[in-house]
Chains A and B, each alone.
Chain A
Amino acid sequence: MSLVSPQDLYSGDAQLSCAHPKDYLALLKPRVMSLVVLTALAGILISPTPVHPVIGFASLLAIAVGAGASGALNMWYDADIDAVMKRTSTRPVPSGRVAPGEALAFGLVLSGLSVFTLGVLANWLAAGLLAFTIFFYAVIYTMWLKRSTPQNIVIGGAAGAFPPVVGYAAATGSVSLESLVLFAIIFIWTPPHFWALALVKCEDYAKAGVPMMPNALGPDRTRLEVLLYTIVLAPVGVLPWLMGFASPVYGALSVLGGALMLYFAWRCYIVREGEAARKACMSLFGFSILYLFVLFLEIAFENGPAQFLARAVRGLL
């Protein structure tokens, strides 16, 4: 090999990236993406007209990548506070595995590609909603609200609630009341879910200077708000069944899940001292994930595989 090959000679001062593909994958927040995929899938499957599976899959992929891109932009902007919080200090940017500029470029390129892909393959209403979701999460929530108000995750939660609306728009080219109900479930679910974790990690947030509810207005006020949001969430979670776009099985699951959410939120409200309080918060946090997962999985199942099987059985009879 030639000594002066441009492929392997760099300025002695140059910092070359040692980032591996898995570091870029981590920038996409895969666990958040999995919930986005499920909620967007539910939005696609509740559409009154059947969606071509290939178009549905492509739309879902574009929405997932768009959500991941907003996660990368979030990690780029929040690298300073991620570095001082134990929970986030090992993320690719604060740990030095990915340079901030690389994370920014990665997020911007994927944002553009995901919006373009959804626009071309599905429709431009869905693409516009996806672009707004990315903007809302990266700019409104990450750059503005997160560091300025204890209501950050209440308003910012809208970004996480948009995927079913985007999915429905991709499938139908419109926005319906049904998709807005799914939006409302995630929107109202977000504060008790995040604040249950924030109650446990409030020292971390305080150290980073993020005004989360527990360290800005106190744990007692947070516990009260967690309980109030859960009281609203439990009936809203039942709406898909009451409005007739989910089955009685969903109705039973949502009533049971809502009752358990209320139980865990009540435990979180009354148990305020020591290890028992921490456990009560983490129980609510853990169960809230299961609650949302089960409700959207049931909606996706009964509007997807279950309907397909029912049609197949009717065809055989």
Chain B
Amino acid sequence: MNTPDNQETPPGGLRRMTAEEARSRRARNIAIGIAVGLFVLLFYVVTVAKLGVGVLDRPL
């Protein structure tokens, strides 16, 4: 049996995400991704700032 959007009905007790639920989850995922990226960048920049010229002071 097909649903109006031409997809089969999920097995008993289950339901498919609505478009709104999927859209908001995607927006949240993107926001979390950006936040984690900025968090990593912050630690990187502060590490460089704290070490200063010591960043280059390492055995080759």
Bound complex: CA A58 to CA B30 (Å): 23
B-side contacts of A317, CB under 8 Å: none
Confirm or deny: B37 has a beta carbon within 8 angstroms of a beta carbon on chain A: no
B-side contacts of A4, CB under 8 Å: 10-11
B-side contacts of A54, CB under 8 Å: 45-46, 49
Q: Report the interface size class on chain A.
A: 20 to 34
Confirm or deny: A312 has a beta carbon within 8 angstroms of a beta carbon on chain B: no
* In contact, A20 and B8 (Cβ under 8 angstroms): no
* In contact, A21 and B27 (Cβ under 8 angstroms): yes
Bound complex: CA A19 to CA B31 (Å): 12
A-side contacts of B21, CB under 8 Å: 16-18
- Secondary structure of the B contact surface, majority rule: helix
- Secondary structure of the A contact surface, majority rule: mixed
Bound complex: CA A19 to CA B10 (Å): 25
B-side contacts of A120, CB under 8 Å: 43
Q: Report the interface size class on chain B.
A: 20 to 34
1/0 per residue B1-25: CB within 8 Å of A?
A: 0000001101101111110111011
1/0 per residue A1-34: CB within 8 Å of B?
A: 0011000111110101111110010000000000
* In contact, B28 and A21 (Cβ under 8 angstroms): yes
If A17-B25, A21-B31, A58-B42 touch, does A12 touch B50 (CB 8 Å cutoff)? Answer: no
* In contact, A55 and B49 (Cβ under 8 angstroms): yes
* In contact, A18 and B16 (Cβ under 8 angstroms): no
Who on chain A is nearest to B45 by CB? A54
Who on chain A is nearest to B32 by CB? A21
Nearest first, the 9 A-B pairs at minimum CB distance are A21-B31, A54-B49, A16-B21, A8-B17, A12-B15, A9-B14, A18-B24, A121-B46, A58-B46
Interface residues of A (CB under 8 A from B): 3-4, 8-12, 14, 16-21, 24, 52, 54-55, 58, 61, 113, 117, 120-121
Beyond A9-B15, A21-B30: 6 further Cβ-contacts under 8 Å?
Answer: A3-B10, A18-B21, A21-B27, A21-B31, A24-B31, A54-B49
